[in-house]
Amino acid sequence: MGDVVSNESLANLLKEERRFAPPADLAANANVTAEAYEQAKADRLGFWAEQARRLTWATEPTETLDWSNPPFAKWFADGKLNVAYNCVDRHVEAGNGDRVAIHFEGEPGDSRAITYAELKDEVSRAANALTELGVRQGDRVAVYLPMIPEAVVSMLACARIGAAHSVVFGGFSADAIAKRVADADAKVIITSDGGYRRGKPAALKPAVDDAVAREDSSVEHVLVVRRTGQDVAWTEGRDVWWHELTERQSAEHTPEAFDAENPLFILYTSGTTGKPKGILHTSGGYLTQAAYTHHAVFDLKPESDVYWCTADIGWVTGHSYITYGPLANGATQVMYEGTPDTPHQGRFWEIVQKYGVTILYTAPTAIRTFMKWGDDIPAKFDLSSLRILGSVGEPINPEAWMWYRKNIGADKCPIVDTWWQTETGAMMISPLPGVTETKPGSAQRALPGISATVVDDEAREVPDGGGGYLVLTEPWPSMLRTIWGDDQRFIDTYWSRFEGKYFAGDGAKKDEDGDVWLLGRVDDVMLVSGHNISTTEVESALVSHPSVAEAAVVGAADETTGQAIVAFVILRGTANADDEGLVADLRNHVGTTLGPIAKPKRILPVAELPKTRSGKIMRRLLRDVAENRELGDVTTLTDSSVMDLIQTKLPAAPSED
């Protein structure tokens, strides 16, 4: 589609006047102050070289960035390190072996605390086990596990021996596994008999068996963790129990130092906009930025904080902010296996209370669900330990932001809305909790050492108050190095739209203060009667109505207006989906909030929205429905029956005009 968001159409879009200063005590003791922006601006590479020194290197790098062959970057290329050593051993050597690394909370209520000393032994045994199975530096290992500590141990064991992991989300089908395993050419898959999901054991191994049975499978061994104790089919010689293999290994393993550019992992994107891409991340630069951003944005004090990221390990957030960033920083964290409503809708808050969680990192989709469930649920628990709240994955609607701040953060915790992608490896745009005056709904400002801006169609930077495309103008340490096996697709997807700049695929605007607001995918921007309108802003306007819990908006081809806005809404508890007056009221509400041009042509109350397994709304599928097309790739959808329900609704829906 043409230009993304014209300045003209932005003028009457959402205005946000609310401001929240950082709490004084947090500001006074913050890990990172406003000076960091100045320092990084004066000497960006010097700044990152300094952050790299927060890691322990076997050979210190002398070169920071090699950008001689763009867009193929090398960071700290002559340095050598072991990533697992940095995440585990060095904390034990520093005398913190007794500190809890992971408080594991299983869905059925079982729990397990693992200290750094214990983690070191487990990772060492697993590294020895993988070596016994023939895994070597440069090989790939697929990981298909529930949210159990062995997932983290597996990733670190791979890192320890220089093999790259490819984690496949534990909810994916045999098909998805087979494709990812074949693409990465993995030698070993680590899986489990099953995991607990909504109060029941759910099997995992059958999907792996199915995937591996396919003719072209590269897999030599399937390593199976026992979690649920359910019966599993067994292929002698190929299948190996994790506990049997690891128990007989030595807890001693000498971590070898690898090049900073040694591949650390391949991870496929969520598939929100199309077919997932295998994103390659390497070691030194990735770990530098994952650790630095975790330290800066969450203000982590490893001696006193209890950190909890609710993401699944199968997503990049789980990689960078469960495994690598927090452990590199010596954090104590909570890891939870299950869903937020098992056995009751207060489970998250019960966990916060139980462990005294101080930093919580979750997604807008979860926050909107909690809003829908009602304020009284979190109110039953003691959440007073919390001091910082994070959000990631989608733009957070201002009303959801306010709800999060008030009902979870007791109106005192700063919210850090962190924008980044699988491709960026680590956070790029976010407030700093001790520095930034926050605004509901805005990710605000590129982090120190990061160069992000908003440009128009001709790659010109837009002025404050303008809108366009989000781009990254300088390389950053944790940037993807390529799309696995497809350098050309890497160039075409990210580096061809704007010469010399990384194109993120997201629309954005700068407000009058120069703060960045994410407006959703460029593919999702609508063109209505010559005006560019962002799905995010119409959705936020709908969610700001008291009857709406969630909204997904798409532009559907329309003979008169080019595109017409079609909104799918989930109503809050007491609102009635058959109430004609409500639909008219919602249209008017959008009209008064954003302007008449943004009024949806159709508003369809639905029970559920199509979401990726990571919880993001898949607007492309709704567009397919709204335009009567066959559905595109649905393999990363949580529940495909959602689409059947929505499809049956559409033809019957009354036209609103």
Rg (CA), the chain: 24
Q: Which partner from the list Mg ion, ligand ATP, none does 407 bind, CB cut-off 5 to 8 Å by kind? A: none
605, β-bridge pairs? 569
Start-to-end Cα distance in the chain: 25
> CA-to-CA distance for 447 and 301, rounded, in angstroms?
19
Q: H or E segment at 586?
A: helix 580-594
Joined tokens for residue 326: 């927090």
**269, 282, 397, 407: residue in contact with ligand ATP (rule CB under 6 A):** 269
Cβ proximity to Mg ion: between 47 and 503 the closer is 503
Pair type for strands 359-362 and 332-336: unpaired
The one among 64, 262, 333, 422 contacting ligand ATP by CB under 6 A: 422
263 binds, among ligand ATP, Mg ion, none (CB under 5 to 8 A by kind): none
Question: Which residue, 619, 438, 402, 326, is CA-closest to 418?
Answer: 438
Q: DSSP secondary-structure letter at 380? A: T
Q: Which stretch binds ligand ATP (CB under 6 A): 209-217, 241-249, 344-352, 504-512?
A: 504-512
- 640 CB-near residues (< 8 Å, 6+ apart): 634
Strand, coil or helix: 568: strand
To the nearest whole angstrom, how small is the minimum distance from the Cβ of residue 169 to Mg ion? 15
Site for ligand ATP in 3-32 (CB under 6 A): none
Cβ neighbours around 352 below 10 Å, total: 24
Contact indicator for 566, 626 with CB cutoff of 8 Å: yes
In the bound state with ligand ATP, the residue whose beta carbon lies nearer, of 310 and 614, is 614
Q: Is 334 in the site for ligand ATP (CB under 6 A)?
A: no
CA distances from 276 to 155, 272, 480 (A): 21, 8, 14
- Give every strand in the sheet of 502-510, ordered side by side: 452-455, 467-472, 502-510, 516-521
| Residue 207, token pair as written in the block | 């999907």
Q: Which does 276 bind (CB under 5 to 8 A by kind): Mg ion, ligand ATP, none?
A: ligand ATP
Which does residue 239 touch among Mg ion, ligand ATP, none (CB within 5 to 8 A, set by kind)?
none
Q: Are 537 and 13 in contact (CB under 8 A)?
A: yes
Of the candidates 466, 312, 411, 357, the residue with the CA atom closest to the CA atom of residue 3: 466
Q: Which does 418 bind (CB under 5 to 8 A by kind): ligand ATP, Mg ion, none?
A: ligand ATP
What tokens were used for 561?
């207006």
Q: Any contact of residue 421 with ligand ATP (CB under 6 A)?
A: yes
Give whichever of 201 and 632 is closer to ligand ATP, judged by the CB atom. 632
Q: Which is nearer to ligand ATP, 252 or 513 (CB)?
A: 513
Residue 117 touches ligand ATP, criterion: CB under 6 A: no
The amino acid present at 385, given as its one-letter code, is: S
Rounded Cα distance, 586 and 323, in Å: 43
- Looking from the CA of 181 toward its CB, the CA atoms found within 13 Å total 34
Q: Does 438 bind ligand ATP (CB under 6 A)?
A: no
Return the number of the residue (305 or 506) whose C-beta is nearest ligand ATP. 506
Neighbours of 485 (CB within 10 A): 13
Which of ligand ATP, Mg ion, none does 9 bind, CB closer than 5 to 8 A by kind? none
- Which stretch, 76-84, 248-256, 269-277, 541-549, contacts ligand ATP (CB under 6 A)? 269-277
Q: Where would I find the H helices in 22-72?
A: 24-28, 35-42, 44-52
Find the part of the chain contacting ligand ATP (CB under 6 A) among 263-271, 302-310, 339-347, 349-357: 263-271
Q: Please, which of residues 314-333 interact with ligand ATP by CB under 6 A?
A: 315-316
According to the binding rule CB under 6 A, does residue 390 interact with ligand ATP? Answer: no
Amino acid at 491: I
Task: Give me the helices (H) in 162-276, please.
Answer: 174-184, 205-213, 242-247
User: Which residue is associated with the tokens 């407006």?
Assistant: 519
Residue closer to ligand ATP by CB (options 71, 395) is 395
Q: Does 504 bind ligand ATP (CB under 6 A)?
A: yes
* 395 counts as binding ligand ATP under rule CB under 6 A: yes
- Candidate ranges 6-14, 269-277, 309-317, 329-337; the one touching Mg ion (CB under 5 A): 269-277
DSSP 8-state class, residue 426: S
Shortest reach from residue 643's CB to ligand ATP, in Å = 17
259 touches, from ligand ATP, Mg ion, none (C-beta below 5 to 8 Å by class): none
Q: Could you say which of 506, 515, 537, 624 contacts ligand ATP (CB under 6 A)? A: 506
617/393 Cα distance (integer angstroms): 10
Q: Can you tell me which of 191, 273, 310, 329 binds ligand ATP, judged by CB under 6 A?
A: 273
Q: Using CB under 6 A as the criterion, what x/- string covers residues 175-214 for binding ligand ATP? A: ----------------------------------------
- The CB-of-271 to Mg ion minimum distance in angstroms stands at 9
Is residue 534 near ligand ATP by the rule CB under 6 A? Answer: no
Select from 100-108, 273-281, 336-344, 596-604 the region that touches ligand ATP (CB under 6 A). Answer: 273-281
Q: Is 460 exposed, middle or buried (0-12, 13-18, 19+ CB in 10 A)?
A: exposed
Applying CB under 6 A, which part among 238-246, 390-398, 559-567, 591-599 lies near ligand ATP? 390-398
Closer by beta carbon to Mg ion, 269 or else 636:
269
Residue pair 276/636 in contact (Cβ under 8 Å)? The answer is yes
Interatomic CA distance for residues 110 and 556, integer angstroms: 48
C-alpha 154/C-alpha 145 separation (Å) is: 10
Nearest distance in Å: CB 311, ligand ATP:
10
Scanning 87-95, 189-197, 267-275, 318-326 for contacts with Mg ion by CB under 5 A, the matching segment is 267-275
What does DSSP assign to residue 92?
I
Binds 369: which of ligand ATP, Mg ion, none (CB < 5-8 Å by kind): none
Token pair listed for 606: 């639905």
Which of 115, 272, 283, 482 touches ligand ATP by CB under 6 A? 272
How many residues sit close enough to Mg ion to count as binding (CB under 5 A)? 1
Q: Which of 338, 425, 440, 505 touches ligand ATP (CB under 6 A)?
A: 505
Q: Which residue(s) pair with 221 in the sheet?
A: 188
Q: Is 419 in the site for ligand ATP (CB under 6 A)?
A: yes
Residue of 649, 645, 468, 467 lying closest to 566 (CA atoms): 649
**CB of residue 494 to Mg ion, shortest distance in Å:** 10
Minimum distance from CB of 423 to Mg ion (Å)?
A: 7
Q: Which of 90, 165, 497, 521 binds ligand ATP (CB under 6 A)?
A: 521
What is the 8-class DSSP label of residue 447?
P
Going by C-alpha positions, the residue among 510, 389, 415, 423 that lies closest to residue 460 is: 510
Q: Which stretch binds Mg ion (CB under 5 A): 200-208, 262-270, 480-488, 624-632?
A: 262-270
Residue 443 interface partner, choices ligand ATP, Mg ion, none, CB cut-off 5-8 Å depending on type = ligand ATP
Task: Please report, as ranges, the residues that interact with ligand ATP according to CB under 6 A.
Answer: 269-274, 276, 315-316, 392-395, 417-419, 421-422, 443, 504-506, 518, 521, 614, 616
Task: Please report, as ranges, the residues that interact with Mg ion according to CB under 5 A.
Answer: 269
